[in-house]
């Protein structure tokens, strides 16, 4: 209740975060983004939008990248909630990330 469900990266409002679920993009674009940190399980935050509304600058793994709306619409995300949201807000390692790293 009260938690907004986001289905694509393009739906994030500035300041919102999401956990990347999957990339539904052409293979060449998908590979390029994955090399820059857009991998399943990573947290992505919408930082700012151009004055005309497109592109939007996102932050993933400390890197800022501008994506056009059509590209961001091909990236599936889920809400960043619970321990993951708290860890990201405080700069700590999230429990599920710590477990995955082991």
Q: Are 94 and 87 in contact (CB under 8 A)?
A: yes
pLDDT for the residue 32 = 94
Please give the Cα distance from 63 to 99 (Å, whole number): 23
Tell me: pLDDT of 94 over 80.
no
More confident residue, 80 or 48: 48
Tell me: pLDDT of 90 over 50.
no
**Region at 97 (left for phi over 0; alpha for psi -120 to 50; beta for the rest):** alpha
pTM (2 decimals)? Answer: 0.74
* Domain 9-91 indexed as CATH 2.60.40.650: no
pLDDT tens track for 31-47: 999 999 999 999 999 99
Q: Are 64 and 57 in contact (CB under 8 A)?
A: yes
Of 3, 12, 28, the closest CA to residue 73 belongs to 12
Tell me: pLDDT of 3 over 90.
no
């Amino acid at each position: 209740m009260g938690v907004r469900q986001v289905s694509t990266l393009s739906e994030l409002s500035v300041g919102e975060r999401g956990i990347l679920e999957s990339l539904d993009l052409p293979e060449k674009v998908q590979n390029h983004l994955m090399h820059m940190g857009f991998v399943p399980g990573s947290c992505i935050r919408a930082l700012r939008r151009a004055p005309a509304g497109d592109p939007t600058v996102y932050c993933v793994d400390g890197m800022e990248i501008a994506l056009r709306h059509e590209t961001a619409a091909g990236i599936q995300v889920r809400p960043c909630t619970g321990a993951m949201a708290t860890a990201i807000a405080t700069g700590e390692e999230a429990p599920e990330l710590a477990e995955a790293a082991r």
